[in-house]
Amino acid sequence: MPNLDDEAYKKLGEQLAGSFGAEAARYDRTRPPYPAELVERIVSTSPGPRVVDVGCGTGKLSRQLRAAGCEVLGVEHDDLMAGFARETGVTVEVSKFETWDPAGREFDAVVAGQSWHWVDAEAGARQVARVLRPGGIFVALWHVFAAPDPISQAVADVYEKVAPEAPLRVAHTLEKAVASYSAGCKRTAEGFIATGKFGDPTEWSVQWDRTYTTAEYLDLILTMSPMALLTEEQLTKLLDGVGAAIDAYGGNFTSTYETLAVAVTRN
């Protein structure tokens, strides 16, 4: 991320956060589920079954938690995403989490899968404290992944070529990505501890692999937020370039994922 001032960064975030709804079906199809080990840990750590899923999107994490026996309410600000989640059986209320009205309801857990970075950290922590029962848990999760170096570098090179003025860059090594997201987990925990309403944080992680064909990875790329900054022509050139790189690599590759989570408990 370049050196944008706070207002420019906020505007960019709002633009990107609103880019997912039009690709809801693709997002649900291509984005991976959460490791069963982490879902089970949320369920076993929560003092009860009532869960709020912040920025539930298409309902991927919500559905996994429901399958594990939880009663899940999604809160999602994007109407199209919320509509998709409802079609899969998830109960969703449309609102930004920070301004959502819980109407006096209290929950055992609040989770945020791939979404907490879109929430105002200070207001979000206050809202979680408002809706969690004592002993309840908050868990934020992020998938971190990287393609093999030749693929990752090809994505970075093509993106730079077709969109040299874009305020975001893409592609990274897994080690750098994990370090960045781990720092984000620590900042998230610090924000909750600063409220005085949460106990010491814990961090969880699970590493796993996923194999992609050329077509599958190009499908995934179309859901990544930096792509929302490209014109149709730029996007076509990027897909052509990345597709050629994967084909040259053999037409498929295995991507290493690490799913990171940070958890705090309501005092």
Residue from 146, 251, 256, 243 nearest 210 by CA: 256
- Residue 87's contacts (CB-CB under 8 Å, 6 or more residues apart) are none
CA 7 remoteness from chain centre = 22
Domains for the chain: give ranges and CATH numbers: 7-148+172-211+255-266 (3.40.50.150)
Q: Which ranges of the chain would DSSP assign to H, the alpha helix?
A: 6-17, 24-30, 36-45, 60-67, 79-87, 121-131, 149-162, 174-193, 214-221, 232-249
Token output for 49:
């079954």
Query: Model pTM greater than 0.75?
Result: yes
- Grouping H, G, I as helix, E, B as strand and the rest as coil, residue 164 is coil
Rounded Cα gap, residues 54 and 177, in angstroms? 23
Task: Please report where in the chains the tokens 């408002």 appear, as a residue.
Answer: 130
Task: List per-residue pLDDT tens for the chain, 267 residues long.
Answer: 333 344 444 455 555 555 567 789 999 999 999 999 999 999 999 999 999 999 999 999 999 999 999 999 999 999 999 999 999 999 999 999 999 999 999 999 999 999 999 999 999 999 999 999 999 999 999 999 989 989 998 998 999 999 998 776 676 788 888 999 999 999 999 999 999 999 999 999 999 999 999 999 999 999 988 888 899 999 999 999 999 999 999 999 999 999 999 999 999
